[in-house]
Structure 1
Amino acid sequence: MPTLYHAPISRSSVIVTLIDELGADDIEIKEVTIPRQDGSGGTDPRNPHPEGKVPLLVDGSDTIRERGAIMLYLTDRYPEARMGPLNGEPGRGAYLSWLFYYQGVMEPVIILHWAQLSHPAVTASLRDFQTMIARLEETLSHQPYLLGQEYSAADLLCSGPFLWFPDLLPQIPALQDWVARCGARPSVARTAARDSAAKGA
Structure 2
Amino acid sequence: MPTLYHAPNSRSTSILVLIKEMGIADRIDVVEVTVSRQDGSGGPDPRNPHPEKKVPYLVDGDDCARERGAIVAFLTDMSPESGLGRPVGHPQRGAFLSWLFYYQGVMEPVLVLDWAKIDHRALQATFRDLDVMLNHLADTLDGQPYLLGEGYSAVDLLLSSPFHWLPEAAPTQPLVRAWIKRCADRPILRAITEQERTAARA
Question: Would the TM-score normalized by the shorter structure come out above 0.5?
Answer: yes
Q: Cα RMSD (Å) of the superposition? A: 1.1
Higher RCO, 1 vs 2 (CA within 8 Å, ≥6 residues apart): 1
Return the letter of the residue paired with 1:105: V
Aligned equivalent of 2:50: 49
1:159 and 1:116 map into 2 onto residues whose CA distance is 21
Matches for 1:1-201 after TM superposition, within 5 Å: 1-24=1-24, 25-200=26-201
Q: Counterparts of 1:114 and 1:193 in 2: how far apart (Å)?
A: 24
**Structure 1 residue 167: Cα displacement:** 1.7
Q: Please, which runs of 5 or more residues in structure 1 have no aligned partner?
A: none
1:163 deviates by 1.2
How big is the shift at 1:80? 1.0
Output the amino acid matched with 1:170.
P
Q: Decide which moves more: 185-194 or 88-97.
A: 185-194
Cα distance in 1 for residues equivalent to 2:21 and 2:188 = 6
String of CA shifts for 1:114-149, please: whole Å, max 9, x gaps.
Answer: 111101111111111011011001101111000000
Q: Please state whether the residue corresponding to 2:9 is helix, strand or coil.
A: coil
CA distance in 2, matches of 1:16, 1:96: 20
In the TM superposition, residue 193 of structure 1 has moved relative to its aligned partner by 3.2
2-structure distance, mates of 1:40, 1:127: 33
Range with bigger deviation, 44-53 or 165-174 = 165-174
Query: How big is the shift at 1:200?
Result: 4.8
Give the partner amino acid of 2:6: H
Give SS of 1:30's match: strand
Separation in 2, partners of 1:137, 1:185: 20
The percentage of aligned residue pairs carrying the same residue is 56
Q: Distance in 1 between matches of 2:172 and 2:131?
A: 13
Long gaps (5+) in structure 2: none
Deviations 1:60-105 (Å, cap 9, x if unpaired)?
A: 1111100000000000101111001111111111100000000000
TM-aligned CA deviation for residue 26 of structure 1 = 1.4
Partners of 2:171 and 2:59 lie apart in 1 by 37
Partner Cα distance (1:26, 1:198) in 2: 24
Secondary structure of the residue aligned to 1:64 is strand
TM-score by length of 1: 0.97
Residue type at the aligned position of 1:4: L
Aligned mates of 2:195, 2:72 — CA distance in 1: 20
The one-letter amino acid of 1:31's match is: E
Question: Aligned equivalents of 2:167 and 2:201: distance in 1?
Answer: 24
